[in-house]
């Protein structure tokens, strides 16, 4: 059993939680948020959308099935820190350790340690979540080992707020690359490749913090994929001769990412476009809408989304702290296609005359498990129709 040292979580409002450390022995800062998922902690930790955030899990038992290489959504842990009630020291699952050296990585704590990410356990996570729900998102400091409580609280009050931060540039790829990996077959049928010609449609993904499973889904449908940095210009993207453009998810506030909005404006009308999460927000901004910060965000794997065009309800995975203002949407060119049934926020839009649409959730995730995959199929259909 790993020996734990003391750890502290201090919030900007002065609230302090003292517990035990797991993972790396160091200090981190960021916006403290919570995720209501019962599983998926490795996908959560490696999702670039969590950059700049300390994530608390509401489910009390975390780490039970260990870690493996197939559950990652990027090449490293992206969250700044991790908060749990209990962290399992004895994971039990046949996939535990797959893809890793089992002598070095067997537990969630060791996984965090090797990525230099601190964690705190044995605190009242229910109290923490109540505070965040009542007061809204708060900045915080997570520290392990020896610390001065008052000093940590003062530091927590100086942590930059999420509003106004362009974090996409911190997580985006530095260089353009090709993607060739299909989705994993985890005990259920894969997406069937669509009826495409011998020259597979080329999709360019603008990486604002893309989750790998988005590209796996598109490749499984028969697309050729190129991923480019978030700052890539429309001219350089069109020089690749794409048949479609994917606007990926990502962290931070969409409003200050002006360069991306300008790029999207230039791409609209030239190629089919599909946006996910931050990509949805950026597309909306490019089309004249406005965004606002949610009180405590949507993060979990059981958010009900209603398709207003079909009446169907899907169970979705979500991770975002900002949303599109419905009153700012130009209904002469855009249609609201989806809403979040928990709070009626905008969860999807579609251009009325162009093959351009987006959603405020993760269709590549599998809480349904196949509820939202039709969106990828629709994107491919738009591309194939546009190519004719």
CA proximity to 190, closest of 229, 220, 152: 220
Task: Count Cα atoms within 13 angstroms, Cβ side, for 200.
Answer: 15
Residue 209 to residue 158: CA distance in whole angstroms: 26
Cβ(305)–Cβ(313) below 8 Å: yes
CA distances from 62 to 28, 31, 36, 299 (A): 20, 21, 12, 16
Q: Name the active-site residue from 43, 110, 255, 364.
A: 364
Residue 378 to residue 95: CA distance in whole angstroms: 33
Residue 284 to residue 334: CA distance in whole angstroms: 9
Check residue 326 and report its DSSP letter. G
Q: Check if 277 is active-site.
A: yes
Q: Check if 362 is active-site.
A: yes
Q: Name the active-site residue from 33, 298, 362, 373.
A: 362
Cβ(214)–Cβ(205) below 8 Å: yes
CA distances from 30 to 78, 81, 116, 117, 238 (A): 12, 8, 15, 13, 36
Q: Name the active-site residue from 31, 183, 277, 298.
A: 277
Cβ(168)–Cβ(252) below 8 Å: yes
CA distances from 150 to 39, 144, 153, 262, 275 (A): 35, 15, 5, 44, 43
Quote the tokens at residue 164.
């106004």
Q: Which residues pair with 23 in a beta bridge?
A: 118
Rg (the chain; Cα; Å)? 21
3-state DSSP assignment of residue 172: coil
Q: Which residues pair with 335 in a beta bridge?
A: 350
Please tell me the chain's helix, strand, coil percentages from 3-state DSSP, rounded to the nearest 5.
25, 30, 45
Q: Could you tell me whether strands 81-83 and 118-121 are parallel, antiparallel, or unpaired per DSSP bridges?
A: parallel
Which residues participate in catalysis according to the annotation?
277, 362, 364
């Amino acid at each position: 059993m790993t020996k734990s040292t003391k750890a502290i979580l201090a919030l900007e409002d002065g609230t302090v939680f003292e517990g035990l450390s797991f993972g790396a022995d160091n200090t981190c800062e960021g916006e403290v948020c919570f995720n209501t998922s019962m599983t998926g902690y490795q996908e959560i930790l490696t999702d670039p959308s969590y950059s700049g955030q300390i994530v608390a899990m509401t489910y009390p038992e975390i780490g039970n099935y260990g870690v493996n290489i197939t559950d990652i959504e990027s090449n490293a842990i992206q969250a700044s820190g991790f908060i749990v009630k209990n962290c399992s020291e004895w994971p039990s699952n046949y996939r535990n350790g797959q893809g890793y050296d089992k002598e070095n990585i067997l537990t969630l704590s060791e996984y965090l340690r090797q990525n230099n990410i601190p964690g705190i356990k044995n605190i009242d996570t229910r109290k923490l979540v109540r505070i965040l729900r009542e007061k809204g998102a708060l900045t915080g400091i997570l520290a392990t080992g020896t610390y001065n409580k008052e000093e940590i609280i003062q530091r927590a009050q100086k942590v930059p707020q999420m509003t106004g931060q362009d974090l996409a540039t911190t997580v985006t790829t530095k260089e353009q690359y090709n993607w060739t990996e299909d989705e994993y077959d985890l005990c259920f049928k894969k997406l069937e490749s669509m009826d495409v010609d011998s020259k597979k449609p080329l999709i360019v993904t603008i990486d604002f913090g893309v989750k790998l499973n988005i590209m796996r889904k598109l490749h499984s449908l028969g697309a050729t994929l190129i991923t480019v940095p978030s700052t890539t210009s429309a001219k350089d993207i069109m020089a690749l001769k794409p048949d479609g453009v994917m606007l990926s998810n990502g962290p931070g506030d969409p409003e200050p990412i002006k360069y991306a909005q300008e790029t999207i404006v230039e791409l609209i009308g030239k190629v089919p476009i599909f946006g996910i999460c931050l990509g949805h927000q950026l597309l909306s901004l490019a089309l004249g809408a406005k965004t606002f910060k949610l009180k405590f965000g949507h993060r979990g794997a059981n958010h009900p989304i209603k398709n207003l065009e079909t009446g169907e309800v899907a169970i979705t995975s979500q991770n975002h702290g900002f949303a599109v203002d419905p009153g700012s949407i130009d209904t002469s060119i855009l249609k609201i296609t989806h809403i979040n049934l928990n709070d009626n926020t905008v969860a999807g839009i579609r251009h009325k005359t162009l093959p351009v649409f987006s959603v405020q959730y993760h269709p590549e995730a599998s809480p349904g498990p196949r509820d939202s995959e039709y969106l990828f199929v629709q994107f491919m259909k738009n591309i194939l129709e546009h190519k004719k």
